[in-house]
Amino acid sequence: MVVLSLIYPVKLKAACKDYIWGGTRLRTEYHQQSSADKIAESWMLSAHPDGPSTIVNGECAGMLLPDYFAKAGHSVFGTDCAEFPDFPVLIKLIDAKDKLSVQVHPDDAYARAHGEPFGKTEMWYIIANEPGASLYYGFDHKITKDEFKKRIKENTVEEVLNKVSVHPGDVFFIESRTLHAIGAGILLAEIQQSSNLTYRIYDYGRLGKDGKPRQLHIPQALDVTRLDHPTRPTHPQGSREKLGGCSRILLASCDIFTAYEMEINEYQLDANEKSFNSLICIGGEAKLLKGGKEELSFCKGDSVFIPADYGKYTVKGNCHVLMTTV
């Protein structure tokens, strides 16, 4: 049985990562906190053991998100998550001051055959970018496995990648097994399966913090990479809707998550029994009210998790949010 006092909107402190390609915008513009010089990633909603979020308000303040889930029970995920043994979603903000490695993630079947619970499908929402910024999204034409292997060996794989210029509001749905790489000068939100399994293919000859070349995972990448051009468009899945005090657009929907971009002045949302709601604020500020009573306030850089079956609530203010459900 769920303890009712645990069913309230929880504000989260992100786990931050200081990978070598990161910048400083997540600290200076999105108020993320870390003792490291760089913040490459902020894991805004995470129950993953490699970087769990921490609750900062209410009865559970100071508790790690997976510990909260253990105490509150899986019903706070929602009935649409019944098939998942663990919390299925991880949401990050990513500041790529430098380019990321060319990489790929396996599907669930391959991951489980190699001792991991999940593969990784993800979605990118471009928040901001430097002029001329681009990324790699699959191949520009179909190639053979032999050519792929040869190009990896000769460090020429970039010559056959699909290079795409980016703009704020672009959406990239990166299905598992799709080769990809975020380019320099891009700040984005990543909504993904709760997995940290990455096979690095090419890293431009860079050295890690230890002064040694970063590890590559060539055999695994050869096993899993889809060797053709992506078929998904690079724009939101839906069309923009005006709903009273809210403007929203469906970014992407799949078996693991459904994500909307929303601009809200005043709008009622519903965390019903089917799914939790996640709100990541990427601009402005607002209050969350239930029955006319203020539950919490949030602003740019904040993450709020609303448990399933919390019911209807109102967001009031002037904010730009990414809302995710299952």
pLDDT at 4: 55
**In this structure, what DSSP letter does residue 149 have?**
H
Q: What does each C-alpha distance from 317 to 43, 73, 264, 297 come to in angstroms?
A: 25, 32, 7, 9
Catalytic residue among 27, 151, 200, 248: 200
Return the percent helix, strand and coil in the chain, to nearest 5.
15, 40, 45
Our answer to whether residue 151 is catalytic in this structure is no
Residue 98 corresponds to which tokens in the numbers above?
């430098």
> What topology does CATH give the domain 4-224?
Jelly Rolls (2.60.120)
The sheet that has 89-96: what strands, in order across it? 15-17, 41-45, 89-96, 186-193, 122-129, 171-174
Question: Please, are residues 256 and 88 in contact by the beta-carbon 8 Å criterion?
Answer: yes
Q: Which of 18, 19, 67, 17 is nearest to 47 (CA)?
A: 67
pLDDT value, residue 207: 82
CA distances from 81 to 111, 227, 274 (A): 20, 32, 8
pTM of the model: 0.96
pLDDT tens by residue, the chain, 326 residues: 566 579 999 999 999 999 999 999 999 999 999 999 999 999 999 999 999 999 999 999 999 999 999 999 999 999 999 999 999 999 999 999 999 999 999 999 999 999 888 999 999 999 999 999 999 999 999 999 999 999 999 999 999 999 999 999 999 999 999 999 999 999 999 999 999 999 999 999 888 888 888 899 999 999 999 999 998 889 999 999 999 999 999 999 999 999 999 999 999 999 999 999 999 999 999 999 999 999 999 999 999 999 999 999 999 999 999 999 99
Q: Pick the closest to residue 134 from 163, 112, 171 (CA basis).
A: 163
Assign 178 to helix, strand or coil: coil
Per the structure block, which two tokens stand in for 267?
A: 């709008």
**pLDDT value at position 211?**
85
What pLDDT score was predicted for residue 3? 65
- The boundaries of every CATH 2.60.120.10 domain in the chain are 4-224, 241-325
* CA 235-92-124 angle, 5° bins: 15
d(CA 59, CA 64): 12
CA distance 126 to 186: 7
Work out the widest C-alpha separation in the chain, in whole angstroms.
Answer: 63
Residue 116: predicted pLDDT: 87
CATH pick for 241-325 out of 3.90.226.10, 2.60.120.260, 3.40.50.300, 2.60.120.10 = 2.60.120.10
